Structure 1
Amino acid sequence: MTVAALIAALRRRRWVLILCALLFPIAAYVAAKQLTPRYTASTTVMFEPTDYAARELQSILRDETTTDAVLASQVEVIRSLSVARRIVREFNLTESEEFSWWVNEAKRVETLRYRWQDALARRLGAISPNLAELVAPEPPEPMPPEEEANISAAEAVRNRLLVQVVRNSRVLNIQFTSEDPKLATEVANMAAELYIADQLEMKFNAVRRANDWLDSRVAQLRRELQLTESRIAELRTSSGLTRGVSAGLATEQVSRINTDLIESRNLLATAEARLNAARAGGGADLTALGAANLTSGRAARDEARRDLERLQATLGSNHPDVRAARSRLAETERAVGGETSRVVQALDAEARAARARVRSLEEALRSQEARVNQSQSAEIQVAALERDAEASRSLLRAVLERSQQTVSQTAIEKPDARVLSPATVPGEPSFPKVSLFVVAAAILGVLFGLLVIWFLEQADSTIRSGEEVRAALGLPCLALVPMLRRGLLGRHRVEDYVVRKPLSPFSESMRTLRAALWLGTEPPRVVVITAARPGEGKTTTSVALARSAAMNGERVLLIDCDVRQPSLGRVFRCEGAPGVTDLLLGQALLERIIRRDHLSSLDYIPAGAAEIHSLGLFMSEAMAGLLDRVRRDYDLIVLDAPPALAMADARVVARLADATLLCIRWRDTPRSVVRNSLGLLEEAHARVVGAALTQVDAKVHGRSGYADAEVYHPRYGGYFRE
């Protein structure tokens, strides 16, 4: 839909838009006046958190940096249930109709409707208990317990209490809405006062808790300092410490014993190595140790072993020399073994003596180290206790200082918020905003009107202009035949208007139609005028077109082919006269049935006697012969045919004619009906040259915005004469 089409649709259906634009605001105004007005009071509070400088008490007294989360927390604090409950108790809202549903329930019993229903139920109870139960009103719900009632009223207060943060600031806007403007003002101010009072009380409590904690900490630190000093004195007394002397002597003795122990351990290692070597039987080791007898004995043993081996190799094992050599070898081995045992015993005694020396030195070292460690441990403990004591003294001084600062802070403490502007009694209700309601309803009405117009445009399936004829049917619109209202006709009939008012727009539309037929590539001589259904104005168009052409000097013949419902007899006042059916049946001659119009030079042939077999007559050779005969005598033959959708006669007659004109009633005939009738004509091979919109309302169509409505513009009024 183009902008021009949209504007045209709005012009055509402007009353729908105007009606919606008026009804919606009126309904909104009436509804707004029926609503109970509510008033909103507003208090603004500045949130200004103060920092406390005490470092040890930052987690208790210091506020965080003001962020969105902090401000959101302050909003929830103001809207908390505890604040709402205090407001409920202050103003006794549990007995208010606005915030306590049970009050309305109690008053419902006093209403006329409740009494009427209750009385009716009592009367019906004697007749039918079931019917009385259906009619009886619902009994009022009892008031809840005091605690539940207080909480319920507090929730209602919270729903009416609105707290907002002014953008890019630390200002809190507290609003409360109520039906009573004074109550709204007092509640808003009280919410701000409770918030500030709670903040100050919270700070006082925090300072009080801090003072208590500091006092207890001072006492604890003093006890710890006294205990530490007592332990230092006891430790010095028990260990007999003299600063720097005992520790140095003990350290020197430990060093001397360590030197002797190292030397003894070296001697022990040497003795054990020699003992192990002797026990292993190593000759070289024993020689090194100075065992000369053992060395010579081993040499003699080796010499005896060589002699034995030599004699056994030459003399055999049982030779006397061999046995003698074996005896000498045994003696030398016994001698070597005895000497070896003597040397090992000596070395073992030497190792035991070295080992005893080492143990003695180790015991002396452990004893001395124990004394040294005891002394050093006592000194270390004393030093640690002295450090603890000094730290306790420093902390005690700091806590005493902070305690004095906290005590002074109590006198200068102030809340983190202050009231910028208290609420005042509102002069006009915040709900309903009658002007806003009316404006919004007007906008909604316009939108709804546009929606209705769009729906009507989409639901309208009729044909409203020549453009739609071409778009929907693919046919040219040859003429727009205006509708003649009764006030314009006066005493004239519609069929006579073209003769009575030859310069009227109606007559001009007939001339336009005749010109459109004549200006074709092959100007038709036999024209069938039909429509999709009855009441489309085809007969009026046929008579008016024929008379207009006759008035232009043409020889015109009008034939009534609508045998079932003939109209020409009524128009020309010749009902019952012989006509075309009589001619086709051979019961009349052509010259006898042709009649002359009394207002013009038009010749016409009425339908004649009704004939139920008219289709066979129109399909006969007599009908074709009739048309061939009148073609020679007339310039234009107009056939008034029955509706094409219902009667087959129209299709047969249209096939015999040179052209077919389809009449469509303006804004009345659905497109689907017109398309169906057009399809039937095309199936009959009729030459449909165009369509004519009949009964067009000139004023309405002139405001429609269609291009062919230009002809009804007042600027063309000089060309017409009504």
Structure 2
Amino acid sequence: MLDRPVTDQRMPADRRAPARAAPPAAPIEPEGLNVTALLGALRRRRMVLVACILLFPLLALVAAKNITPRYTAGATAMFEPTEYAARELQSILRDESTTDAVLASQVEIVRSLSVARRIVARFNLTERREFAWWLQDRERADSIPFRARTALAGWAEPVLPDLAALIAPRPIAGVPSGEIAEIQAAEFVQARLEVQVVRNSRVLQIRFTSEDPLLAAAAANLAAELYIADQLEAKFTAVRRANDWLDGRIAQLRAEVQRNESQIAELRSTSGLTRGVNAGLGTEQISRITQDLVEARNQLATAEARFNAARGGGGGADMASLGSANLVAQRQARDEARRELDRLAATLGSGHPDVRAAASRLAAAERAVGGETGRVVQALDAEVRAARARVTSLEGSLAQQEERMARTQGAEIRLNALERETEAARSLLRAVLERSQSTVSQTAIEKPDARILSPATVPGMPSFPKPTLFVAAAAALGALFGLLLVWFLEQADSTLRTGDDVRAALGLPCIALVPMLRRGILGRNRVEDYVARKPLSPFSESMRNLRAALWLGSDPPKVVVITAARPGEGKTTTSIALSRSAAMNGEKVLLVDCDIRQPSIGKAFRAEAAAGVTELLLGQARYEDIVRRDHLTGLDYIPAGAAEIHSLGLFMSEAMASLLERVRRDYDLVILDAPPALAMADARVVARLADATLLCVKWRDTPRSVVRNSLALLEDAKARIVGAALTQVDAKSHRRSGYADSEVYHPRYSGYFRE
């Protein structure tokens, strides 16, 4: 152990190698997505793509072989609607133009539940497992998973009832009743019954799919026959309904005609009408009565005038006009007596007996005129009453005749209306009878609106599954999935695969691509000895490329640290191979194992127990005692020596600085095999003391984030990182990858190498 603190063991500033910054390297943007990149990705991941293309069809073929085959049989029918002749039945049997809606309706008629139920009943499909789900569910009771879950649920029931309820399988369903079973089976039939309309035609394709080819053909034919039979039955039903309606209408019209005729007869009998005669007789009677009434009224007026004249005491002329000669004579005598009296009274005086005699004669004449006038007035009054009575009689007769005429006219109007209604009913009855006879005749020649073009035949090949189609579709799907998987793997691959990836991700030059040494290439050689045994191999050439890259720099380093982000990156193999390759080139090379906690160089050179760096730094051995020589190449190497837990202090000591100063003077190239930089602090200290640091990255293995973290730690330690080397590169795979730097593994360069 060191006696001095770590701070005192630093190399003095004047004795340390001047710190040199790593050469700047601008990151290179990766190539965009182009055809070359896609082809390269497919070449790199071709096995994934091939596996998907082969696996998917294989699985599809296995699935197709294990799926119960189904057979599809098809019949074709032509929809040909016919016209119906009876015009009165257009509301019952209406012919529509064949539109898409009409054809769609025909499709639904074929696929109706009624047709499906009759198919179920005809072939007893409720007893077929294919269409009876309860039979399928009953088979589940005999399956091993059902019995296993039932047993597990029974064991868990006493302890964990909730878990038992989750484990327990779904109970076996009961068998439905007859009608429900038929309806449910019919729903399965509807799912298997397919009806399509051939484009731009009226042809219906009726297909039925079943596991039984005979059933498929029979069910398709039965569906077509039921469709046509339903068409014809619908027409017969419509015709029967029309006949029933016509018969009812005929009976109704006949009853109406009979009722009207009865009313006409009754009306004629009650009104006394005789068709064509009663109207003329009534009019003539009214005319005659009217004339008589006019004469009677005239006579009444004359009689009243005479009566008034007689009662008014008219003169002689008036009396004469009244037709009373006695009254006229008596009035003349009275007038003579009055004149005589006046003459005598004028000559004789009023007291004269002649005058009194003349007055007596005048009074007698007055009494005679009054008596006669009374008799005339009575006669005229009787005549007036007689004329008035006749007028009243004629007026009554006229009113009665007019009333009778009015009644006769109303009855005649009603009679005419009844006769017109009766005639119309007779005409309609004749028309309905004719249409009824036409409908009965139409029933005998009725035909359906569809006909079968070709019946279904028993299919020889299953319609599902089709292995060829399955395999082709699966191959296409596998190719698509493979492409997607290749893209996903490419996007998910965060490792470094090419020098371009190194420059793009790390900003460092890729100094070399170190190929992987497979067992077939090594033969009996060890990996550490391969560069010496096969100096013209591609592996040896990669070491020479690595040495040339270090030497061709502007300031060729003498002390080079080779490290990696994590173990297993090939840093020790690279350190040994590079050292031996440089020694074989005539350089004086020293290889120092600085991985004290897990040494590898002593084991590679079969010097595990020899003293090494640890003993030198602890002062337990001399420099001359720890330096050893490789018998194959003349390489000098210093093993790690005994393990030391305080290795960091050793590398930070004055002894380490003195060692590096000495080897710089004695050797052309000093290679330090350092531990991984990400987890071990020793690598950062050693990298700080060296002239250059080389980072080894395992090809297509180490994630970029891990490499970046280790690179950041080295940069924080002020290490001069000159580049990175991709190790364990699969030459064949990299050659087929399509990357730009894969050219070095092309067979065209085989003449330069000797394995």
| Short-chain TM bin | 0.7 to 0.9
Q: How far has the Cα of 1:104 moved from its partner? A: 6.0
1:242 aligns with 2:279: yes
Matches for 1:141-540 after TM superposition, within 5 Å:
143-228=175-260, 234=267, 242=279, 381=414, 384-385=417-418, 387-540=420-573
* Alpha-carbon distance in structure 2 between the residues aligned to 1:632 and 1:371: 167
**Residues 1:564 and 2:564 aligned together:** no
2:520, 2:111 → 1: CA distance?
A: 74
RMSD over equivalenced CA pairs, Å: 4.0
Match of residue 11 from structure 2? none
TM-score between the two structures when normalised by the length of structure 1: 0.73
Structure 2: gaps spanning 5 or more residues:
1-32, 291-398
**2:615 matched to 1:615?**
no
2 CA distance for matches of 1:389 and 1:576?
142
Q: Tell me by how many angstroms 1:595 deviates.
A: 4.0
Which letter does structure 2 place at the counterpart of 1:77? I
Task: Answer with 472-481 or 100-109: which moved more.
Answer: 100-109
Distance 1:677 1:140, change over 3 A: closer
Task: Summarize deviations over 1:58-93 as a string: whole Å, max 9, x none.
Answer: 011223222222222222222233323333333333
Deviation at 1:231, TM superposition (A): 5.3
Contact 1:563 1:614 in 2 (8 A): yes
Report the equivalent of 2:103: 71
Aligned residues: 600
Change (3 A) 1:480 1:244: farther
Change (3 A) 1:456 1:107: closer
For residues 96 and 622 of structure 1, do their structure 2 counterparts lie closer, same or farther at Cα, with a shift above 3 Å needed?
closer
> Structure 2: which amino acid aligns with 1:545?
L
Aligned-partner Cα distance in 1 for 2:601–2:132: 83
The answer to whether the 8 Å contact 2:273/2:412 transfers is no
Against the structure 1 CA distance between its residues 194 and 619, is the aligned structure 2 distance closer, same or farther, given a 3 Å change threshold?
Answer: same
Higher RCO, Cα 8 Å, sep 6+: 2
Tell me the amino acid that sits aligned with residue 55 of structure 2.
Answer: L
Q: Deviations over 1:669-698 (max 9, x none)?
A: 232222221111011011111111111121
SS in 2 for 1:242: helix
Q: Structure 1 unaligned segments of length 5 or more: list them.
A: 254-365
Identity %: 73
CA contact (8 A) 1:44 1:174 kept: yes
Deviation at 1:608, TM superposition (A): 4.2
Amino acid at match of 1:503: L
What letter is aligned with 2:514? V
Within-5 A mapping of 1:621-632 = 621-632=654-665
Asked whether the 8 Å contact 2:282–2:401 carries over to 1, the reply is: no
Q: Secondary structure at the match of 2:578?
A: helix
CA gap of 1:411–1:455, structure 2 versus 1, over 3 A, is same
**Residues 237 and 440 (structure 1 numbering): CA distance in 2 closer, same or farther, change over 3 Å?**
farther
Structure of greater Rg: 2
Q: Deviations over 1:196-250 (max 9, x none)?
A: 1222122122222222322332333344345446656737856996389969x99
Cα deviation for residue 663 of structure 1 reads 0.7
Q: What is the CA–CA distance in structure 2 between the aligned matches of 1:475 and 1:139, rounded to whole Å?
A: 68
The one of 655, 659, 663 equivalent to 2:692 is 659
Amino acid at match of 1:602: L
1:619-671 CA-partner distances (Å, limit 9, x unpaired): 23443343344334433222222221222121111112221100112222232
- Structure 1 CA distance for aligned equivalents of residues 283 and 691 of structure 2: 151
SS of the residue corresponding to residue 88 of structure 1 reads helix
1:32 aligns with 2:32: no
CA positional deviation for 1:376: 7.6
Closer, same or farther: CA 540–421 of 1 in aligned 2, 3 Å: same
Change (3 A) 1:707 1:379: farther
Determine helix, strand or coil for the equivalent of 1:502: coil
Residues 45, 171 of structure 1: 8 Å contact kept: yes
What's 1:348 paired with? none
- Distance in 1 separating the partners of 2:133 and 2:615: 91
Give distance in 1, aligned partners of 2:181 and 2:576: 88
Deviations 1:490-510 (A, max 9, x none): 333322222222211011101
Give 3-state SS (helix, strand or coil) of 2:723's partner: strand
Q: In the TM superposition, what is the alpha-carbon distance from 1:23 to its structure 2 partner?
A: 2.8
Aligned residues of 2:41 and 2:486 also touching (Cα < 8 A): yes
Q: Distance in 1 between matches of 2:596 and 2:50?
A: 49
How many angstroms apart in 2 are the aligned matches of 1:626 and 1:94?
A: 97
With over 3 angstroms needed to count, the CA separation of the structure-2 counterparts of 1:494 and 1:180, relative to structure 1, is closer
- Asked if structure 2 preserves the Cα contact closer than 8 Å seen for 1:241 and 1:379, the reply is no
1:306-364, Cα deviation, whole Å (9 max, x unpaired) = xxxxxxxxxxxxxxxxxxxxxxxxxxxxxxxxxxxxxxxxxxxxxxxxxxxxxxxxxxx
* Compared CA separation, residues 29 and 389, structure 1 to 2 (3 A): same
SS of the aligned residue for 1:66 comes to coil
Give yes or no for contact 1:469–1:475 (8 Å, CA) kept in 2: yes
